[in-house]
Amino acid sequence: MDIDWSLVESIGIGLGLGVAAGFRVVVPFLVLSAAALFGHLPLAENMQWLGTNTALLGLSIALVVEILVYSIPGLDNVIDTVALPMAAIAGTVLMALAANQLDPFARWSLAIVAGGGTAAAVKGLNGFSRLVSTVTTGGFGNFLIAIAELLGALLLSVLSLVAPAIVFLVVLVLLAVLVWFAVRAFSRSKQPMSEAE
C-alpha cells in the first residue's frame, strides 16, 4: 500500500494550523495571509482575499486586540468562553482548506473531527489552565500563559507551512504536555480544599 505523502502533508498543515487556532484564533490566518502575500503559499481561488494587504492589516489589528484582551486577568477567562467555539470553527475551516484534495464528505469529516476537535481541545485545556491560574495566582500567572499561547500559535503556524510532515509528532507531544499541565494544575487546585476539610 502506497502512502500519499501529499495528503499526509496537507493533513499535517491543517492539523498544525488547527492546533495553532486553539492557542490563538487569529494567528494561523495571519501567518497564512503573510505567506500568501509574500508569494510563499498559493491560495485556492476562493481564498485569494487572504493574500491581500487589507487582510494582513485587518488580521494584524485583530491580533493586537487579542493580545491586549488576554493581558487583562478576569477578562481573559471571559474571552476563553467566547473563543472556544471560534477556535473550533477556525480549526475546521483551516483543516478543510488544507485537505482540499479529498472528496467533500471526507474533507469536512476530517476537518470537523481533526481540525475543529483538536482546536477546541487545545482551547479548552488552555482555558482551564488559565482559570486555575486565576484562582491560584490571582491572575498574575495568566500573563505567562498568554505569552506561551501566542508563541505556540506562531511556532505551530510557521512549522505547519515549512515542515508539515513533522507536525503530527509535535502536535502529539504538545497535546500530551497540555493534558499533563491541566491534570497537575487541577490536582494542585484541589489540594488546599482537601487540607481545609
What pLDDT is stored for residue 91 in this prediction? 92
Domain assignments of the chain as residue spans, ordered by start: 5-185
Query: What are the pLDDT digits (tens) for 132-148?
Result: 888 888 888 888 889 99
Chain segment 26-74, per-residue pLDDT in tens: 999 999 999 988 887 777 777 788 889 999 999 999 999 999 988 888 8
Element (H or E) spanning 136, and its range? helix 117-137
Q: What is the structure's pLDDT at 196?
A: 44
pLDDT over threshold 70, residue 2? no
Q: In sequence order, which residues have a C-beta less than 8 Å from that of residue 2 and are 6 or more positions away?
A: none
pLDDT value of residue 192: 57
Write the pLDDT tens digit of every residue in 88-114. 999 999 988 888 888 888 888 988 988
The DSSP secondary structure of 66-97, one letter per residue, reads HHHHTTSTTHHHHHHHHHHHHHHHHHHHHHHH
pLDDT > 70: what percent of the chain?
Answer: 94
pLDDT mean over 152-160: 92
Cell of 167: 507536525
pLDDT over threshold 70, residue 1: no
pLDDT of residue 25: 93
